[in-house]
């Protein structure tokens, strides 16, 4: 069965409050069509039931099409397989109308962000509309809220910075860090980042609810505060809940005295320096050898944007510069790890940080996981860069060289973190999600982030 890509251009706020968490609809350019979704009073189905409904639908379509889910895109048939359901974006548009956003990959590894509208009761949901929103993280359009509280689709090239994810100036929000522990058979340990205030973010920890015995440790090299939890079998299935209140300023190049700038020229476990990275970096700056570190850093930034694809495929997400160099793909960790290895290889200090990007086009809801970024040192200043976002949004490539928007929170900085109590595997590669060990084996709490913007 082939899925028709339906469209509408202006949508009621009621129907899109949660839809706009990230995944949006696409289609033709008819700006006159509207889709009003009535508010109903019947009991709404649960998010878990929506997830089950979309998975069941995809599985049925695969069985009917030799193991593939088929989608038509501009007269080309895509043969796709399920990667994941974005559980943070599942939503009710009414008791019998639901929204789901799903990642599906083709045989080449390209990942399509596909939106679904469903109707019906649990166990009998039917998909009524299907559309493609993103390819390898790059959106096809954005949304703008109108005076009458409806939303209009806007082509990316006509979108403002805020519609493309950027809050300039300042932002304030509550940030909710949540995790559910897996089954624990004996004793285990968990390492969690605790966000800290600095010149660009003022952080207040409002509540911390965690299981087990807790202690606070400091990673002396980077100044990270890390919460260590000792838990046992009785803590299986318990939750970690941390609530922050954050006021953050847009980050621009800044002065700061550093005791050991040279540390940011040294390699890390997954960030080699020299060798082929020096050769690539020298080729990228060819003809600009005498132009200084700032020009060199921009040349590396442009090289990565031109030569890498944002693609969650293979063993991505470890922040390996070698993987990035070999595959020319990855998520934000690969983009910035590659940049750091290249920069350090031509004597530009560079460093890594990780946290979360807060959606700019809405004021509450789920967040699609962690986000990371980098800084480099030139002309006596640290310069923020966000290369993966510059790669997604060509219109913002200049903005993200030298700026980080206000709508984000930094949870930790640096690589190979060394709290006083180390995991048995050694220094922590980077720290956003909980690191959990039981008898030397890694466990993986189910982690989610959400937010509520403050007035």
Domains of the chain, residue spans: 10-159, 170-249+419-453, 261-413
Between 10-19, 45-54, 114-123, 283-292, the lowest mean confidence (pLDDT) is in 10-19
Judged by DSSP in three states, 123 sits in coil
Q: What pLDDT band is residue 421 in, cutting at 50, 70 and 90?
A: very high
- CATH code that applies to domain 261-413: 3.10.620.30
The span from the CA of 126 to the CA of 123, in Å, is 9
Q: Is-contact 156 134, C-beta < 8 A?
A: no
Task: Provide the β-strand partners of residue 34.
Answer: 10
Q: Could you report the per-residue pLDDT of 136-170, keeping only the tens digit for each?
A: 666 777 666 555 544 566 776 666 676 677 899 99
Can you name the CATH fold of 10-159? Nuclear Transport Factor 2; Chain: A, (3.10.450)
The structure's pTM equals 0.76
Residues 6+ apart with CB under 8 A from 294: 378, 379, 383
Q: Could you report the per-residue pLDDT of 380-408, keeping only the tens digit for each?
A: 899 999 999 999 887 788 899 999 999 99
Judged by DSSP in three states, 262 sits in helix
Residue 285 burial (CB count, 10 A): 20
Same fold for the pair 10-159 and 170-249+419-453 = no
Helix axes 293-307, 276-284, angle to 10 degrees: 100
Between 16-25, 185-194, 197-206, 401-410, the lowest mean confidence (pLDDT) is in 16-25
Strand segments (E) across 210-323: 213-219, 224-232, 239-249, 309-310
- Supply φ then ψ for residue 342, to 5 degrees: -65, -45
Q: Which residue has the higher pLDDT, 426 or 20?
A: 426
Q: What pLDDT band is residue 127 in, cutting at 50, 70 and 90?
A: confident
pLDDT of 14 higher than 80? no
Task: Provide the β-strand partners of residue 350.
Answer: 376
Judged by DSSP in three states, 6 sits in coil
Closest CA to 218 of 243, 191, 237, 197: 191
Between 39-53, 276-290, 342-356, 387-401, the lowest mean confidence (pLDDT) is in 39-53
Query: What pLDDT does residue 37 have?
Result: 38
Judged by DSSP in three states, 5 sits in strand
Q: Which two tokens stand for residue 282?
A: 């020298």
Can you name the CATH fold of 170-249+419-453? Immunoglobulin-like (2.60.40)
pLDDT of 379 higher than 80? yes
Instruction: State how far the alpha carbon of 23 is from the alpha carbons of 106, 127, 432, in Å.
Output: 19, 16, 23
The span from the CA of 414 to the CA of 354, in Å, is 8
The span from the CA of 40 to the CA of 82, in Å, is 31
């Amino acid at each position: 069965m082939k899925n028709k890509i339906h469209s509408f251009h202006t949508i009621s706020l009621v129907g899109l409050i949660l839809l706009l968490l990230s995944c949006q609809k696409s289609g033709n350019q008819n700006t006159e069509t509207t889709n009003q979704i009535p508010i109903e009073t019947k009991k709404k189905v649960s998010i878990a039931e929506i997830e089950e409904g979309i998975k069941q639908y995809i599985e049925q379509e695969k069985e009917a099409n030799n193991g593939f889910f088929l989608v038509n895109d501009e007269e080309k048939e895509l043969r796709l397989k399920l990667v994941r359901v974005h559980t943070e974006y599942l939503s009710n548009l009414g008791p019998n109308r639901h929204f789901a956003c799903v990642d599906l990959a083709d045989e080449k590894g390209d990942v399509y962000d596909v939106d679904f509208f469903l109707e019906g009761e649990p166990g009998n949901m039917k998909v009524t509309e299907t559309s493609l929103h993103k390819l390898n993280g790059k959106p096809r359009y954005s949304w703008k809220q109108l005076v009458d509280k409806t939303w209009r689709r806007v082509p990316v090239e006509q979108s403002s910075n805020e519609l493309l994810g950027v809050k300039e100036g300042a932002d304030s929000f509550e940030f909710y860090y949540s995790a559910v522990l897996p089954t624990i058979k004996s004793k285990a340990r968990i390492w969690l980042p605790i966000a800290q205030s600095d010149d660009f973010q003022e952080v207040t920890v409002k509540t911390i609810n965690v299981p087990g015995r807790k202690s606070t440790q400091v990673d002396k090299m980077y100044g990270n505060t890390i919460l260590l939890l000792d838990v046992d079998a009785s803590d299986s299935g318990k939750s970690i809940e941390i609530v922050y209140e954050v006021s953050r300023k847009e980050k621009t190049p800044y002065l700061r005295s550093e005791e050991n700038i040279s540390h940011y020229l040294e390699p890390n476990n997954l960030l080699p320096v020299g060798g082929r990275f020096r050769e690539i970096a020298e080729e990228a700056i060819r003809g600009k050898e005498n132009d200084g570190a700032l020009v060199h850093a921009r040349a590396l930034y442009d090289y990565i944007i031109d030569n890498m694809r944002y693609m969650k495929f293979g063993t991505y997400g470890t922040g390996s510069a070698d993987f990035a160099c070999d595959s020319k793909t990855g998520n934000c960790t690969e983009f910035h790890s590659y940049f750091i290895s290249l920069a350090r290889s031509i004597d530009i200090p560079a460093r890594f940080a990780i946290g979360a990007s807060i959606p700019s086009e809405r004021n509450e809801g789920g967040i699609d996981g962690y986000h990371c970024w980098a800084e480099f040192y030139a002309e006596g200043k640290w310069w923020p860069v966000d290369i993966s976002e510059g790669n997604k949004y060509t219109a913002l490539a200049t903005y993200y060289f030298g700026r980080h928007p206000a709508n984000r929170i930094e949870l930790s900085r640096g690589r190979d973190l060394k709290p006083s109590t180390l995991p048995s595997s050694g220094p922590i590669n980077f720290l956003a999600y909980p690191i959990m060990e039981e008898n030397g084996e890694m466990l993986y709490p189910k982690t989610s982030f959400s937010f509520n913007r403050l007035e």
